[in-house]
Structure 1
Amino acid sequence: MSKQISFITDFIKLSFLLLIITFALRASLLLYTPEVATGLSSSEITHALLWGLRFDLAIVGVLSFFNLLTAYLFGFGKGPRTIKWLLPAITLLVMLQLGDMAYFKDAGRHISYESKDFFATPISLISQGIGQLGWLVLVLPITLLIFSRIPFKLGRFNKPYSWAKVLFLFPSQIFITLLVAAIMARGGVKGLPLDPASAYNIGDVRLAPIALNGAYSALYGLLRSNDGIQASSIAAPENREQLVRSLYMPKEQPLENTNLEQFNLVFVLLESWPIVRMTTESGEQVTPVFSALQAQSLSAETMIASGHRTTEGIYSIFCSGQNPLGKTIAKTQLQNMPYGCLPQLLREQGWSSAFFQGSYKNTSGTGAFAQTTGFEHSYGKEDISSDQAQYEQNSWGYYDQDLYRFVVNSIESLPEPFIIGINTNTTHDLKLPKGVEARFGFETEQQKEFSVLSFADSAIAGFMAQMQSKTLDKPIAYIFVADHTAGLIDSRLNHYRIPFAIYVPGFIQPKLIHDAVSQRDLAPTIAHLIGLDAPWFSGQNLISIANNEASAFADYYHGGVVGWIEGDWLVEQSTQGDGVRCYNWRLDPKQTQEIACSEPTENMRQRALAFTAVQQQLLFEGKTKQFMDYKP
């Protein structure tokens, strides 16, 4: 006799199978990216893995219920259903976990809102993901092979059908199972649905990435993509206005006799360039072209990026504001707020403008977001003729040599003065064109990173030569800066340390600022150079910092932690002001040894919370221009 309807029993069995898979994959993150467990004891790691079972159960409950419901409905009257009916849930779970692992290795954080970008550029993401995962791509077929052999049969309706059971027993079991699945997905019977951010409730921000299930975070971001993003809770000091005001010097006067049309501006966003990859362990220069250019420029010992995505870099570079913590403005309810960004201000003054990418122009919404900041035109790889390209494309698009050539040719149609942004593409992937020698080898991942970065660096020399051959009416101010870093790096701080150089021969003297400065400092520096007044910018004029007329400060947000740098000090704390750690970032950029916090760091801690609270409040209220009220 065939089995009776037993939806509840089948739900329990399938949930158990999926729980084994998802827990194993979550634990394997420690093997794939061992850096995530640096400094943690085995007991702490075990605690994080077990504490995170709530996230495992959450996604297991959702996938089990809907997969089983589909199997029952579509298999109605077709005899016993085997595990083949359950393979969609297993496949989706494994793919989400593997995709998150690849993203984590690249960005140092679990995927969330970015999951919806998969549908915009699936081929590029899959290609790069396969290249990053290596042997882990075998996990999916092996998992399916193993589980397809399990003698797992689902319940079914007896024949002839008992309509009493069909109309009563089956719906009642569906209701009970849905209730259980909902409790699992919510993380309990009380409170709000389980949010990925609740991983930080574990009490130690170092353990949260291990506890959080990446597949759940990705699915949550996908399902909640239309809900917008929410402001983070921040424990702001009562005297936050006074604390923020203390960060700034009295308002500067614009440069005398400066014509707004004095310069053409060229911003080169160096895709994924981290400072720690620009020199080998033996001290050899990986990027000698950029280093030589930097020596002739205004630069700093380090610049701190404001995020891990290009759109996050665009906002901080051109709009001089703090991004939503751990998120981007692009493709959210915040995108069309009035920010008063540098490109928009210049466009109002009659400047022409364009933004260029080697990938699709709207990859992750980048091109559209650049236009939101004020760039009139947006160009991507679809605008570049393959017939004129020197190299074949990588997973994302054209190598920098071909992108730069397209930019130089396009400048001819831009009236002066102009402002252009270039998001480079070579370092968006770990590939080299056929026939190009790998300067540092191509066997290990580190060798690939060095060789690809070196190839991208060599393209800068060609770009500068092509630009200097152009006959233009106005001089060019070049701003080279990484939009963010990529890859798992050895400390939270090093995740955000990026290079920059402001090269304006004859107008800005070469100087190295021996401080940590912020991406947000670029827009006010250029505004000061050309005589533009934008008092709502939250960054500082780097020329004033170089002349010791202003003090530098920089910050980052990483996995629930706000990092704040002034002088030699780095102070980290949660957004609630607890878990405070102090470091000397110059002597210990890898953050291997905490030092005792003191009175100066207490003041820094308060300023960090005050600045972050004000920036986040104004950002989510659409009032970023009111930041000028918090400055002297």
Structure 2
Amino acid sequence: MKNYFQHIILFSKRIAFLLILFSISRLYFFVLNFSYFETVGFWSILKSFFYGLRFDIAAITFFNSLFIVLHTIPGNFKSYKTYQLVLFILFVFVNSILLGTNFIDSEYFSYTNKRMSSDIGQLISLGDDFKNLIPAFLKDFWYTVVAFIVLIFFSCKFYPKQKVFEKSSLTIKTFVFQFLIFAFVISISFVGFRGIELRPLNNISAAKYVRSQTIPLVLNTPFTMLKSWSKENLNSVNFYSEEKLINIFSPITTPSQEKKFKRLNVVIIILEGFSSEFIGFISQEKSFTPFLDSLFAKSLVFEHAFANGKRSIEALPAIFAGIPSFADNPYITSKYSTNNIKGIGTILKEKGYNTSFFHGGINGTMGFDAFAHLAGFEKYYGLYEYPNKAHYDETWGIYDEEYLQYFAKELTNFQQPFLSCVFTLSSHHPYNIPQKYKNKFPKGNNKIHESIGYVDYSLERFFASISKADWFKNTLFVVTADHTPYSLNKYYSNKLGSYSIPIVYYMPGDSLLKGKNATITQHCDITPTILGLLNYNEPIFSFGKNVLDSANSACAFNYNSVLYQLIEEDFTLLFDGEKSKSLYKIKTDKLLKENLISYKHKTRINMENKLKAIIQTYNNRMINNELIYKQPNENPEN
């Protein structure tokens, strides 16, 4: 019996050692993303590390279940060297993978501001981008690879070893005792994974222990990936009756008045990883975009514009079809991607428009080609259609300068009116720019800055090429970004500023469409606003609104795996799906330091009601395939 107890003690030491390894990986995650947590106090950080142990235990007990069983199963054979070697190999193999995901996420988090979820596998499988980027990742993040290797070496070196245990015979009595202890350990392990609450431990459980800003620090990546595996299906939500729901929020936008339709050309420019931070005209910070500053001076610029997601794959459904990202799995790769939608391409094709989508990346990347077709873009132009592969950047696709010139030439060949979109790529990691432009653009203190200057220059050349075209003055240009990148700025790295992107409307033939507008807007508003500017007079389905119609309530919303965010008027609300967690007055507290959740009761209730209505509308309509406008008594399947 003593022999068995010695193995239980050894087992406990090895699990405790694992918790230390997980805490070290959490410390590394914290150090690499310090700018994100910079405004959080010391005690809040310490508390996050403490409560993080709870989620580490959950991940460890689940993924090491075989190790736990083999280590604690009744019997005296566990002292054999071969058996201990098997346990060691199993320990190192399983936990190298778990710790590896934490280290990978230490870098990936800076782009998404959330822990990775299971959809990362689907994103990797879309196109050939991942394998092309591996060399660049290893080159740029070599220090993380080294840190990971050092930690694995440390785990092998200091793995608690078996000493010489006293051998004992196994009687029926000792077997029964061992089995009871074994059953107890398995039960404790199950509780460690699930928790003792009515509902199993989940990502959102972290919100009970810490403030919203430090939730990613409490969680660990193996846990978030595990929990998101079971979240492919949305759950039906019933906060309100249908009658009350439509009075709080409706995804149907109806024009306020009948006007003659304007057959303007429409060009949508989506800039890769372009935060408002880099554009001095908007941010009032140091500018890396002299051309865009000059263009925006004669455009309608929204000062408070927000992305509906943090990844490129989440941008297209929001921009083209008014569908935000309210699930861990992006719409494009979800089971709901075959739902009926009516994107801006389909709407304008019905008006006789020629529709096209341009992206210089490898065809199939992020599922852009499939979704563009679904949204009504008739022609897709990717890397394979581009005539000169010498302009390939060896990572993502064609350099922006050459690709935008190609885009300009193709636009001139299109029959009018046309709707066309171009998605740039040179400001994506690893931020490659042509060798001839090295040291031409300001480098700043962020790796992306030089590529931002290059893209700005590419846009200047693009507009110079098209400015004398006969169709130019009859065109509405929309300039936006897919999401924001990593930032060292305290505001642009927090829950609010990390979604701040440009949304700008430029019409060279309309001198009245210019100036700065303080109205809150979002990706989902782009299609309704474009259609409003064209005087489109039919109802459409969109979670956004025509932001230029004063009859509409302006707001923005997003979701990051744990918390929903609603930005409206002077406030931003963070909601966990059941309860509001934080409320900040954003005009006077941009750094989100003073939580007003206990003081602004009426504001919290009103915003919470609206966010609940949006969530209910999203989940239920997604489940029931009701993402298009239908006339009363019309079957949505038809």
TM-score calculated relative to the size of structure 2: 0.80
Q: Is the 8 A contact 1:351 1:419 kept in 2?
A: yes
Q: How does 1:31-110 map to 2 (within 5 A)?
A: 31-66=31-66, 81=85, 83-84=88-89, 86-110=91-115
Alignment of 1:540 with 2:545, yes or no, is yes
Q: How does 1:219-238 map to 2 (within 5 A)?
A: 219-221=226-228, 223-224=229-230, 228-231=232-235
| Count of equivalent residues | 602
Residue 610 to residue 563, structure 1, CA distance change in 2 (3 Å)? same
**Structure 1 residues 233-284: Cα deviation after superposition (integer angstroms, max 9, x where no partner):** 6866994432336x9997412422x25xx23322111111111232399843
In structure 2, distance between residues paired with 1:28 and 1:52: 14
In structure 2, distance between residues paired with 1:364 and 1:215: 23
In structure 1, distance between residues paired with 2:226 and 2:570: 41
> 2:124: which partner in 1?
118
Q: One-letter code of the match for 1:267?
A: I
Residue 249 to residue 482, structure 1, CA distance change in 2 (3 Å)? closer
Displacement after TM superposition at 1:35 (Å)? 3.5
> 1:275: which partner in 2?
276
Q: Is the 8 A contact 1:267 1:422 kept in 2?
A: yes
> 2:464: which partner in 1?
465
Given the alignment, which residue of 510, 515, 518 partners 1:514? 518
> 1:28: which partner in 2?
28
Q: One-letter code of the match for 2:145?
A: V
Q: Is the 8 A contact 2:101 2:222 kept in 1?
A: yes
In structure 2, distance between residues paired with 1:206 and 1:77: 47
Residue 556 to residue 324, structure 1, CA distance change in 2 (3 Å)? closer
In structure 2, distance between residues paired with 1:209 and 1:576: 19
In structure 1, distance between residues paired with 2:308 and 2:447: 26
Residue 81 to residue 153, structure 1, CA distance change in 2 (3 Å)? farther
Displacement after TM superposition at 1:20 (Å)? 2.0
Displacement after TM superposition at 1:329 (Å)? 1.0
Q: One-letter code of the match for 1:485?
A: T
Residue 282 to residue 615, structure 1, CA distance change in 2 (3 Å)? closer
Q: One-letter code of the match for 2:315?
A: G
> 2:635: which partner in 1?
none
Displacement after TM superposition at 1:300 (Å)? 1.4
Residue 602 to residue 424, structure 1, CA distance change in 2 (3 Å)? same
Residue 402 to residue 147, structure 1, CA distance change in 2 (3 Å)? same
SS in 1 for 2:581: coil
Residue 417 to residue 173, structure 1, CA distance change in 2 (3 Å)? farther
In structure 2, distance between residues paired with 1:437 and 1:327: 38
**Structure 1 residues 376-417: Cα deviation after superposition (integer angstroms, max 9, x where no partner):** 34343344355441x633x43333113323434544675544
Given the alignment, which residue of 487, 490, 494 partners 1:491? 494
Residue 140 to residue 239, structure 1, CA distance change in 2 (3 Å)? same
Q: Is the 8 A contact 2:255 2:539 kept in 1?
A: no
SS in 1 for 2:431: coil
Q: Is the 8 A contact 1:303 1:517 kept in 2?
A: yes
> 2:307: which partner in 1?
305
Alignment of 1:145 with 2:153, yes or no, is yes
SS in 2 for 1:335: helix
Displacement after TM superposition at 1:173 (Å)? 12
> 1:333: which partner in 2?
335
Displacement after TM superposition at 1:98 (Å)? 1.2
Residue 255 to residue 173, structure 1, CA distance change in 2 (3 Å)? farther
In structure 2, distance between residues paired with 1:357 and 1:10: 56
In structure 1, distance between residues paired with 2:221 and 2:159: 29
Q: How does 1:310-329 map to 2 (within 5 A)?
A: 310-325=312-327, 327-329=329-331
> 1:159: which partner in 2?
none
Q: Tell me whether 200-209 or 234-243 shows the greater mean CA deviation.
A: 234-243
In structure 2, distance between residues paired with 1:70 and 1:360: 47
Displacement after TM superposition at 1:553 (Å)? 2.7
SS in 1 for 2:517: strand
> 2:166: which partner in 1?
none
Q: Is the 8 A contact 2:29 2:103 kept in 1?
A: no
In structure 2, distance between residues paired with 1:604 and 1:337: 29
Residue 571 to residue 253, structure 1, CA distance change in 2 (3 Å)? same
Q: Tell me whether 270-279 or 171-180 shows the greater mean CA deviation.
A: 171-180
In structure 1, distance between residues paired with 2:479 and 2:441: 24
RMSD, matched Cα: 4.3
Displacement after TM superposition at 1:336 (Å)? 1.1
Residue 87 to residue 538, structure 1, CA distance change in 2 (3 Å)? closer
Q: Is the 8 A contact 1:582 1:601 kept in 2?
A: no
Residue 572 to residue 392, structure 1, CA distance change in 2 (3 Å)? closer
Displacement after TM superposition at 1:583 (Å)? 0.5
**Structure 1 residues 499-518: Cα deviation after superposition (integer angstroms, max 9, x where no partner):** 12222222473322222222
Displacement after TM superposition at 1:14 (Å)? 4.7
SS in 2 for 1:428: coil
Alignment of 1:213 with 2:215, yes or no, is no
Residue 383 to residue 181, structure 1, CA distance change in 2 (3 Å)? farther
Given the alignment, which residue of 499, 503, 524 partners 2:528? 524
In structure 2, distance between residues paired with 1:125 and 1:185: 37
SS in 2 for 1:339: coil
> 1:241: which partner in 2?
246
Residue 564 to residue 23, structure 1, CA distance change in 2 (3 Å)? same
What percent of counterpart residues are identical? 20
**Structure 1 residues 534-563: Cα deviation after superposition (integer angstroms, max 9, x where no partner):** 332332223434xxx655333334564444
Given the alignment, which residue of 618, 622, 626 partners 2:621? 618
In structure 2, distance between residues paired with 1:248 and 1:604: 20
> 2:287: which partner in 1?
285
Alignment of 1:477 with 2:484, yes or no, is no
Q: Is the 8 A contact 1:356 1:423 kept in 2?
A: yes
> 2:451: which partner in 1?
452
Displacement after TM superposition at 1:348 (Å)? 4.2
Alignment of 1:266 with 2:272, yes or no, is no
Q: One-letter code of the match for 2:61?
A: G
**Structure 1 residues 541-588: Cα deviation after superposition (integer angstroms, max 9, x where no partner):** 23434xxx6553333345644443444444444443433423143x44
**Structure 1 residues 161-202: Cα deviation after superposition (integer angstroms, max 9, x where no partner):** x9x99xx99x98999699459616732367565433332343
Q: Is the 8 A contact 2:325 2:558 kept in 1?
A: no
Q: One-letter code of the match for 1:123?
A: K
Residue 576 to residue 124, structure 1, CA distance change in 2 (3 Å)? farther
Alignment of 1:597 with 2:605, yes or no, is no
Given the alignment, which residue of 159, 183, 194 partners 1:187? 194
Q: Tell me whether 403-412 or 41-50 shows the greater mean CA deviation.
A: 403-412
In structure 2, distance between residues paired with 1:536 and 1:198: 34
Displacement after TM superposition at 1:353 (Å)? 2.8
**Structure 1 residues 76-101: Cα deviation after superposition (integer angstroms, max 9, x where no partner):** 99686274554322321232111111
In structure 1, distance between residues paired with 2:183 and 2:381: 53
**Structure 1 residues 422-476: Cα deviation after superposition (integer angstroms, max 9, x where no partner):** 221111114343242345654x7x3423222111111111222333465659933
Q: Is the 8 A contact 2:476 2:505 kept in 1?
A: yes
Q: One-letter code of the match for 1:505?
A: P
> 2:206: which partner in 1?
199
SS in 2 for 1:480: strand
> 1:158: which partner in 2?
none
In structure 2, distance between residues paired with 1:541 and 1:331: 28
In structure 1, distance between residues paired with 2:153 and 2:210: 39
Residue 77 to residue 94, structure 1, CA distance change in 2 (3 Å)? closer
Q: One-letter code of the match for 1:463?
A: F
